[in-house]
Amino acid sequence: MYPCKPHVLPPIVYPTNYCEHHRFSKAIVPHIHPQHTKKVHHHKFEHVHYYPHTYSKYKPVSHDHSYCGKPCR
């Protein structure tokens, strides 16, 4: 049996996740977040995730690499 009021742990704050939008191209980067739930002694942890969001602007720089020939082995 669970107690009437659950014990609330301090929040875990993750680093800010930056989202970028480009007008000239589209890049899809898969972000894989493996998850695992484990119950021990019938104790339940309830994880509440918050995603505060901010916007910023910047001037991007691109790099092109050209390879002519093969390197020696």
CA distance 73 to 70: 9
CA dihedral 9, 15, 18, 19 (to 10 degrees): -30
Per-residue pLDDT of the chain (73 residues; tens, 9 = 90+): 555 787 888 998 888 878 777 777 666 778 888 888 877 677 777 888 888 888 888 887 787 877 777 767 6
- For the chain, the residue count is 73
Of the candidates 33, 31, 64, the one whose C-alpha atom is nearest the C-alpha of residue 49 is 33
pLDDT number for residue 6: 78
Residue where the block lists tokens 């901010």: 54
